[in-house]
Amino acid sequence: MELLEEQRETWGTRGGFVLAAVGSAVGLGNLWGFPYKLYSYGGGAFLIPYIIAMFCIGVPMLILEFSLGHFTQRAAPNAFARCNKKLEFVGWWGVILGFVIITYYPTILAYCLSFMWYSIESIVRDTPLPWAGEGVEGVENAKNFFYDTYLGYHKDSALGGFQWHIFGMLLGAWVLMYFCIFRGVKLVGKIVWITVPLPFLVLVVLTVRGLTLPGSMEGLVYYLDPTWSELAKPTTWRFAFGQVFFSLSLAFGVMVTYASFLHRKSDINNNASIIALSDFATSFIGGLAIFATLGGMAYASQQAGSSIGVGDVVAKGPGLAFVAFPYALAQLPGAAWWSLIFFFMLITLGIDSAFSITESVLAGIVDKTGWKRGIVLPVMSLVGLGSGLVFVTQGGLNWLGTVDDFINGTWGIAFLGLLECVVLGWFYRVENLRQHANERSDWRLGKWWNFSIRVFIPVVLGTLFIWSLFDDFSNADGFIRTPEGEWILPNCVGLMIVGIAPVIAIFMSLMKNPNRQDSIVCEKTVSDKCTTQGRSASGVAFAVSVVSGVMIVWLAAAGMLEGLLLYAAFALGMSGLLVSNYVLNRYDHELVTPSKLARCAGIIATADVSACIAAVLIRLADSSAGAGVEEAAKSIPADKLGAVSYVILGVVTLVVFGGLGWCFYRAIAAFGSDEPVEEMK
C-alpha cells in the first residue's frame, strides 16, 4: 500500500484536531436538533435506535471517514477519487448536501444572536427578559415571544413576510463564520479551544436548574421511559439514524476533510471514539436539561388549572429549544446574564459546526479546481446567504424543518451513508483503510470492522431505506400530493433538492480536474500480472443473488411478500452476500483480484437481504399497530421513573464515562510507545 509522503497543512496538535472534530460534531444539532426530534418521534423510545445507530454505525463510519481523509490527504471528492476514479461523485454528493445545510444552519445561529441581543438589552436597560413571567404566564410568554413576537410565525407552508430583523442577524452569523475560516485550519484549531469547552459549563448549570424545577420528574419520564410501540414506526428509526449522521457530521465530507489536515502520525481509532462519545454525552445532557424544563413548564401550567401534560406543553418541532431554554433561563436568578452567557455559548457551539461544513465545501472546490480560497470563500458565502433567505420569512421555520428532515432522512444522508459504505466496501479494498488506521492508532480495529462496513451497515441502512420508502408512499395523507390532489409543497421542494444533489455531483465529478496530476495514488492498479480469482464462487453468488432478487420482485408484485417463499429469498440473498464477501476477503491482494461478479453479487445481495428484512418489519409493524393503542393507554405514573428508565440512564452513564475513561487510558498507555498494540476481537 502506497502512502502519500507529502504533508499538507496540519492542525498543530492532537488536541487541536480532536477539538475541531468535536467542534464540528457537537453543535446546534445536539441542543436544538436532538431534543426536538426525540420529542417529536417517540420520546424515550427514540433513544434506543439512537444509541444503536451511534455505536454500531456512527463510530465505525467515523473511523472510515477519518482514515479515508487521512490516507488520501484530500477533501472528500478527491479522497474518493483517489480510491477509485469512478467514485468521486460520492464525495461531491455529500459536499452538496452539506451546502444545503449551510443555507439553513446559520438561520438558527441568527436566532441565537437575536436572543443574545435581547439579553444584552435587558441587562443594559435593567428590565426583565422580554419573555419572562411568573408561573403559567412564564410558559405562555416563552411560547408567544418566540413564535409570535420574534418569528411572526405562520403555521402553513406559505412563506409570508420577510423578517428584516432576523436577516440582520443572519448577515452577522455569516460574517462571523467568514472570519473564522478565512485563515485556514490552523486558526480553526486555536478557536476551538474556546468554543468547545465553554458551552459544557453552561449546559451543566441549565441541567441543574431544570432538574430542580417542580415537576421536572414528569419531563424525565417522558424523556427516558420508552413507549415501545413507537419502535414499530420507521420514522422513529429514520430520524434517529439521520440524527446520528447529522450529529457526527458524517457523510457530508466534513470529517474526511478535517482528517486530511491531520498530521501523518496521528491516531485515528481512539480519536473517533472520543469524538463520538463526547457528542453523545452532549446530546444526552442537553436532552436532560430540556425535558426537565418541559416537566417544569407542564407543572406550572397544571397549577393554573390547565390539564396539558409534558407531551403538549410546547409545539413539537424545530422551535422547541427556543421556547424551553429561554423559559429555563428566565427562572434563574440574574436571568439576563445567564441568558446572555447561554446564547453566546450556543453560538460558539454552532459556529464551529457551521464553518466545518463551509470548510468542507470550500476544500472540495479548491482541491478540484485549484481556484484561490480567497475568491471561492466570499462567493460561496454570498450564495449560501442568498439561498438562505427563504428561511428568514414568517413561514421560514416550517421550511427549515422540512429541508432538515429531507437532508437527515431516508433520501438524504441515510442513503448516502449506505452508498459510501457500499462503494468503499465493494469497489475498494477497505482493508487498506483498516491497516492505515491501525498503523497509527492507540488501539487496533479487528477484521469485524471490514465486515461491518461492507455488509452490516449497508444491510441496516438498506432495510431502513426500503422500510421508509414504503412508509412514505403508503401514507394515507399522501407524500407529495394530498388525497384531494393538492401538492404538498415543502415535500416537493425537499424531494427536488435531494434528487438534484446526485445529478450535480455526477456533473462535478465529470468536470476536468487540472489539479489531479497526482491522480489515483492509492488505487491498486490492476496490471497484466494481476490474476482474477474466485470466479466460480462469484458466479454462484451472483446467480443466487439474482434469483433471490427476481423472487422478491415477483412476490412483491403478487402482493405475497411473506411466508416460506420470503424466507427462501432471504436465505438465497444471505448466501450470495456471505459468499461474495468471502471472495473479496480472500482474493483482494497485491497481485490477485477478485472476480467482478463478486462485487456485483454483493450489491445485489445487499438489496435482496435488506428488502426481505424490510418486508418482515413492515408486517410486524402492521400487526403491532393494534397492540400499540393498548400500550399507550396504560399510562406510567407521571412523577416516577420506571425501571427501564433507570437502566437507560445507567447504561448511558456507564457507556459515556466508562468509554471516555477507557479511551483516555489507551491514549496515555500508547503515549511514547512504538510497540504494536494487540488486536481487538
Query: Where along the sequence are the contacts to ligand PHE (CB under 6 A)?
Result: 24-25, 27-30, 98, 101, 246-247, 249, 252, 254, 353, 356-357
Give the nearest distance from C-beta 364 to ligand PHE in angstroms.
13
Give the nearest distance from C-beta 681 to ligand PHE in angstroms.
31
Which of 27, 318 has the CB closer to ligand PHE? 27
Which of 237, 252 has the CB closer to ligand PHE? 252
Distances (CA, A) of 282 to 109, 312, 409, 455, 611: 18, 25, 22, 30, 35
Which of 105, 570 has the CB closer to ligand PHE? 105
Check residue 481 and report its DSSP letter: B
Give the nearest distance from C-beta 195 to ligand PHE in angstroms.
13
Which residue's C-alpha cell is 450564495? 383
- Helix H, strand E, coil C: the string for 561-615 is CCHHHHHHHHHHHHHHHHHHHHHHHHHCCCCEEECHHHHHHHHHHHHHHHHHHHH
Give the nearest distance from C-beta 339 to ligand PHE in angstroms.
21
Which of 249, 398 has the CB closer to ligand PHE? 249
Pairing between β-strand 531-533 and β-strand 592-594 as defined by DSSP bridges: parallel
Q: Are 20 and 11 in contact (CB under 8 A)?
A: yes
Q: Per the structure block, which three cell numbers stand in for 96?
A: 452538496
Which of 195, 356 has the CB closer to ligand PHE? 356
> Residue 162 forms beta bridges with which residues?
393
Give the nearest distance from C-beta 105 to ligand PHE in angstroms.
7
Which of 24, 581 has the CB closer to ligand PHE? 24
Give the nearest distance from C-beta 300 to ligand PHE in angstroms.
30
Burial of 76 (0-12, 13-18, 19+ CB in 10 A): buried
Q: Is 602 left (phi over 0), alpha (psi -120 to 50) or beta?
A: alpha
Give the nearest distance from C-beta 27 to ligand PHE in angstroms.
2
Which of 118, 258 has the CB closer to ligand PHE? 258
Give the nearest distance from C-beta 417 to ligand PHE in angstroms.
12
Q: Per the structure block, which three cell numbers stand in for 268?
A: 485515528
First vs last C-alpha separation in the chain? 24
Which of 261, 426 has the CB closer to ligand PHE? 261
Which of 27, 133 has the CB closer to ligand PHE? 27
Q: Are 330 and 339 in contact (CB under 8 A)?
A: yes
Q: State the Cα angle at 260 between 257 and 262, rounded to 5°.
A: 125
Give the nearest distance from C-beta 9 to ligand PHE in angstroms.
20
Kindly tell me the number of DSSP H helices and DSSP E strands found in the chain: 29, 2
Burial of 155 (0-12, 13-18, 19+ CB in 10 A): exposed
Q: Which one, of 120, 433, 382, lies nearest residue 256 by Cα?
A: 433
Which of 239, 443 has the CB closer to ligand PHE? 239
**In a 3-state reduction of DSSP, which class is residue 179?**
helix
Q: Is 640 left (phi over 0), alpha (psi -120 to 50) or beta?
A: beta
Give the nearest distance from C-beta 542 to ligand PHE in angstroms.
37
> Residue 487 forms beta bridges with which residues?
481
Which of 100, 612 has the CB closer to ligand PHE? 100
Which of 286, 602 has the CB closer to ligand PHE? 286
Q: Are 459 and 465 in contact (CB under 8 A)?
A: no
The rounded distance, in Å, linking the Cα atoms of 107 and 99 is 14
Which of 29, 409 has the CB closer to ligand PHE? 29
Give the nearest distance from C-beta 92 to ligand PHE in angstroms.
15
Handedness of CA 81, 65, 33, 179 (dihedral sign): negative
Give the nearest distance from C-beta 360 to ligand PHE in angstroms.
7
Q: Per the structure block, which three cell numbers stand in for 159?
A: 412563506
Give the nearest distance from C-beta 188 to ligand PHE in angstroms.
13
The residue with its CB nearest to ligand PHE is 29
Give the nearest distance from C-beta 25 to ligand PHE in angstroms.
5
Give the nearest distance from C-beta 289 to ligand PHE in angstroms.
16
The rounded distance, in Å, linking the Cα atoms of 465 and 463 is 5
Q: What is the largest CA-CA distance in the chain?
A: 83
Which of 23, 576 has the CB closer to ligand PHE? 23
In sequence order, what DSSP letters do the residues of 126-153 get, joined into one string? T---TT--SHHHHHHHHHHIIIIIII--
Which of 247, 513 has the CB closer to ligand PHE? 247
Which of 111, 252 has the CB closer to ligand PHE? 252
Check residue 215 and report its DSSP letter: T
The rounded distance, in Å, linking the Cα atoms of 168 and 294 is 31
The rounded distance, in Å, linking the Cα atoms of 130 and 534 is 72
Task: Spell out a b/e string for 530-554, using b for 16 or more CB atoms within 10 Å of the CB, else e.
Answer: eeebbeebbebbbebbbbbbebbee
Give the nearest distance from C-beta 357 to ligand PHE in angstroms.
4
Check residue 533 and report its DSSP letter: E
Residues 6+ apart with CB under 8 A from 294: 39, 219, 222, 310, 313, 314, 324
